[in-house]
Amino acid sequence: MSADAPSPANYSPGLEGVVAGETAVSTVEDGLKYRGYSVGELCEKATFDEVAHLLLHGDLPTAKELSAFQARVTTARRIPEPVKQLYPNVPKWAYPLDALRTAVSMVSLFDPDAADNTHEANVRKAERLLGQMPVMVADQYRISKGLQPVMARPELGHSANFLYMLRGTEPTPEEVRALDVSLILYAEHEFNASTFTARVIVSTQSDLHSAIVGAIGALKGPLHGGANEKVMDVVRAAGGPDAAEKWTLDALARKERIMGFGHRVYKAGDVRAGILKGYARAAAITPDLQKWETTADIIERVMGEQKKMYPNLDWPAGRLYHAMDLEIPLYTPMFAMSRIAGWAAHVIEQTDHNRLIRPRSIYTGEPTRSVKPIGERG
């Protein structure tokens, strides 16, 4: 029995432009919207916690729904003791996103709904991961620095609690708002690589935790979430305002990729980058940070002039987090502790309307040949 040969006419390398499914979670058409709300308006009028509710439950919460949601999420911040014991055993040099991926996998062993793929169980698991992932990131960070973990504070929202657990001190309202806006912008993005990975995994009737572990793996690469950890390398390598133009022209002449620029879907610019730029600028309060902002502006101008290529969200996010004095290896884990909301919304949608995702490939290997006895090979 054989399958029909796929048509090369249907082939698009990297699936560029291919419609691979339906979703009601978000759209990038005519400006990024989450469940019908523009991200710009969400950044102005909502918190990350409200947006996470929107993504997981389909609409913005009422005040009563929000407090019930936050109560469930904050209860999950008490992660199981054996998972906590993982961090002292993780090598100090471990990359935080790898430690997060391992912790998410481990916590699945203790989740009472782990094997239950019903809509209700998937929502419960998603809410728990939303509470657990920032705790995992903060605990692993502190233990790797030889510091005691800090207890979560149930009265604090997602961003404020994360900054508090990371540093052990109260963040300022400006820092909380800036981080919250960045996490709103990171929360969801249609069929990006990590979300698509998650959907492929659950399309086999696998479970939510397996999908999130796979999604974290896909997020790690520098062409996707890993780009936010490369932004300050780019800005610093450019050397400062006097050297930035020449450095950018030389890097482009060497055919280097400038991390934080370009996008598979947004060819005329990423609305998210424009929204977060003001927060990165406002956070740059020292002369040194302002120097890097000016350097970033010059790189941005040259990229537009030379390549018609514009910043993506990672460009201001990497600078904002640096200005907030957060260490670079935390940036992609922070992306993950936001995108968990979008990933889980897609996992739930895929599971609720499932059809196995199994595309075809164009064969480029050897023509049909016969197997020679081992003594006749070579």
Residues catalogued as catalytic: 263, 314
Is 153 a binder of ligand CMC (CB under 6 A)?
no
In the chain, what are the helix, strand and coil shares in percent, each to the nearest 5?
Answer: 60, 0, 40
Q: Is 26 helix (H, G, I), strand (E, B) or coil?
A: strand
User: Residue 290, class by beta-carbon neighbours within 10 Å (0-12 exposed, 13-18 middle, 19+ buried)?
Assistant: middle
The Cα angle at residue 265 between residues 261 and 271, in degrees rounded to 5: 65
Q: Are 122 and 347 in contact (CB under 8 A)?
A: yes
The Cα angle at residue 237 between residues 234 and 242, in degrees rounded to 5: 110
The Cα angle at residue 15 between residues 129 and 6, in degrees rounded to 5: 120
Closest distance to ligand CMC from the beta carbon of 109 (Å): 29
Is 261 a binder of ligand CMC (CB under 6 A)?
yes
The residue range among 99-107, 141-149, 312-320, 342-350 that interacts with ligand CMC, by the rule CB under 6 A, is: 312-320
Is 224 a binder of ligand CMC (CB under 6 A)?
yes
The residue range among 43-51, 58-66, 304-312, 336-344 that interacts with ligand CMC, by the rule CB under 6 A, is: 304-312
Six-digit token string for 321: 């987090």
Residue that the structure tokens 């998210």 belong to: 272
Residue closest to ligand CMC when measured from CB atoms? 262
| Burial profile 72-107: b = 16 or more Cβ within 10 angstroms, e = fewer | ebbebbebeeebbebbeebeeebebbbbbbbbbebb
Using alpha carbons, select from 207, 164, 159 the residue that is nearest to residue 183: 159
The residue range among 17-25, 90-98, 167-175, 254-262 that interacts with ligand CMC, by the rule CB under 6 A, is: 254-262
The residue range among 22-30, 34-42, 135-143, 311-319 that interacts with ligand CMC, by the rule CB under 6 A, is: 311-319
Is 258 a binder of ligand CMC (CB under 6 A)?
yes
Question: What number of chain residues touch ligand CMC (CB under 6 A)?
Answer: 19
- How far is it, in rounded angstroms, from Cα 267 to Cα 238? 24
Residues 79-138 that bind ligand CMC (CB under 6 A): none
Is 159 a binder of ligand CMC (CB under 6 A)?
no
Q: Site map for ligand CMC, 162-201, x if CB under 6 A? A: ------------------------------x---------
Interacting residues of 94 by C-beta distance below 8 A, sequence separation 6+: 140, 144
Is 17 a binder of ligand CMC (CB under 6 A)?
no
The residue range among 126-134, 255-263, 277-285, 370-378 that interacts with ligand CMC, by the rule CB under 6 A, is: 255-263
Interacting residues of 95 by C-beta distance below 8 A, sequence separation 6+: 329
Nearer to ligand CMC, 141 or 315 (CB): 315
Nearer to ligand CMC, 69 or 261 (CB): 261
Nearer to ligand CMC, 157 or 262 (CB): 262
Cα of 61 vs its chain's centroid, Å = 23
Nearer to ligand CMC, 122 or 312 (CB): 312
Among 262, 316, 318, 333, contact with ligand CMC (rule: CB under 6 A): 262
Is 264 a binder of ligand CMC (CB under 6 A)?
yes
Report the interface residues with ligand CMC, using CB under 6 A.
14, 192, 223-225, 227, 257-264, 307, 309, 312-314
